[in-house]
Amino acid sequence: MDAFEKIQEYFSSYSPLSDEAKEAIIKEAEYKEYPPKTVLLSEGQVEKQLYFLNKGLVRGCFNMVDRAITLWICYEPGPFGNPESFFNETPSDIYIETVEPSQILTISYQRWHELLDQFPEIERASRMISQSNVQRLYQRIMILHYGTPEEKYKYLLENEPQIIQRTPLKFIATYLNITPETLSRIRAKI
């Protein structure tokens, strides 16, 4: 399955798309490959495109005084980015970088909104994807705020094992808001 088929399948899994809508997505999407550690969006930059991860692993981070904190990790297939920057056209407070070699499709902000206006089924699929993402984010917020370090790690093991299998431990530790040492102790016990 090529990159363009994956994005069509992904959106269609949330809401059926007409052949015309699928073709419009293909026409507007631009395909690129990136090596690990490529910064796709820098702090202070306005995100001007919708990103769709076809293959690979990316993370969104923000810089603290003494370290970078992994805010989110995305693996294929799926959209990713800084929604505040993209939808409000404001400077990003995070940076986004590839963790693995990554295949990414992009659609410009303007063309994405034109597609949403032109194809109600794309708009519906986009809304369903957003709802799913909000639900996952809520679960993550609850476990991060109220879970013990062990519960946080077990949550990842049960719900997002790809993150555990593919992400460097130093990124997982900041993602879970625990120290690398605590993460090592938890992994040794499990």
- What does the pLDDT read at residue 149? 94
Burial class (CB in 10 A: 0-12, 13-18, 19+), 27: exposed
* pLDDT at residue number 1: 60
Kindly give the confidence (pLDDT) of every residue in the chain, 190 residues in length, as a single tens digit, with 9 standing for 90 and above: 677 888 888 888 999 999 999 999 999 999 999 999 999 999 999 999 999 999 999 999 999 888 889 999 999 999 999 999 999 999 999 999 999 999 999 999 999 999 999 999 999 999 999 999 899 889 888 988 889 999 999 999 999 999 999 999 999 999 999 999 999 999 998 8
Cα separation, 140 vs 72, in Å, equals: 10
CA distances from 112 to 1, 24, 83, 119, 169 (A): 23, 10, 13, 10, 35
- Correct CATH for 3-119 of 3.40.50.300, 3.60.15.10, 3.40.50.280, 2.60.120.10: 2.60.120.10
Q: pLDDT tens for residues 120-165?
A: 999 999 999 999 989 988 988 898 888 999 999 999 999 999 999 9
Phi and psi torsions of 102, nearest 5°: -130, 140
Domain boundaries, the chain: 3-119
Question: Residue 23 region, left (φ>0) first, then alpha (ψ -120 to 50), else beta?
Answer: alpha
Of 78, 93, 10, 3, nearest in space to 47 by CA: 93
Tokens of 60: 């969104």
pLDDT at 145: 84
